[in-house]
Amino acid sequence: PEGFLEVITGPMFAGKTSELIKRIERQIFAKRKAALFKPSIDNRYSEDKVVAHNGLSYEAFVVPTTEEGVRTIYQKTKEEDFEVIGIDEVQFFPMSIVEILNKLADEGVYVIASGLNLDFKGEPFEVTKELLALADNIVYLTAICSVCGREATRTQRLINGKPAPRDSPRILVGGIEAYEARCRRHHIVP
Ligand code: TMP
Ligand code: MG
């Protein structure tokens, strides 16, 4: 079996989840045993589906963003003998997911992890950062800056239409009501 670690990253509204679903679907068409996992923190659109901002959705195993959740991903993959697994919103899991996904790739699984590059402050999400270093392939997606229309690599958090301050909590689940994709120039952290 050919293990492989692939990381899909970029800001919000770049199409990361759609890309992940697309890659899993291609594998399923080829009759490979594939599964999607997502953290239970992300309940924006569905409890048991991975759903992209464009409405594209796919059934998934929902796992908690704890050590237990990370172990579940490993055990489930082994039990069911999945050849391909996708993990959405990987940045929400504890650091231990990095070695687990790398180990699964070593053991022959094609692992596709999708996650944010940076938080709203422009600081790297550690899990994604480590996975990028270990990746066999990186799919770096950009969005469109909502201010100038250039390529966006960052995510702006807005509270009542204003840039969120630096002391805003790191985790805030949301969509277009709270976030915009922005280029370097138009990304603001007061
Ligand atoms: P997405 O990558 O599928 O668009 O979803 C990103 C999720 O992460 C979304 O629920 C908003 C959340 N988020 C944070 O919790 N903190 C952040 O700093 C950013 C940028 C997003
Ligand atoms: Mg997504």
Q: The domain 4-141: what is its CATH number?
A: 3.40.50.300
Tell me which of 89, 123, 126, 180 is the catalytic residue: 89
Per-residue pLDDT tens digits for 36-70: 999 997 565 556 766 777 766 677 899 999 999 99
Q: Is the ipTM of this complex over 0.95?
A: yes
Terminal-to-terminal C-alpha distance of the chain: 49
Closest protein CA for atom 15 of ligand 1 = 171
Q: What is the model's pTM?
A: 0.94
Segments making up each domain of the chain, as ranges: 4-141
Per-residue pLDDT tens digits for 61-75: 999 999 999 999 999
For residue 107, indicate whether it is catalytic: no
Rounded CA-CA distance 147/80 in Å is: 46
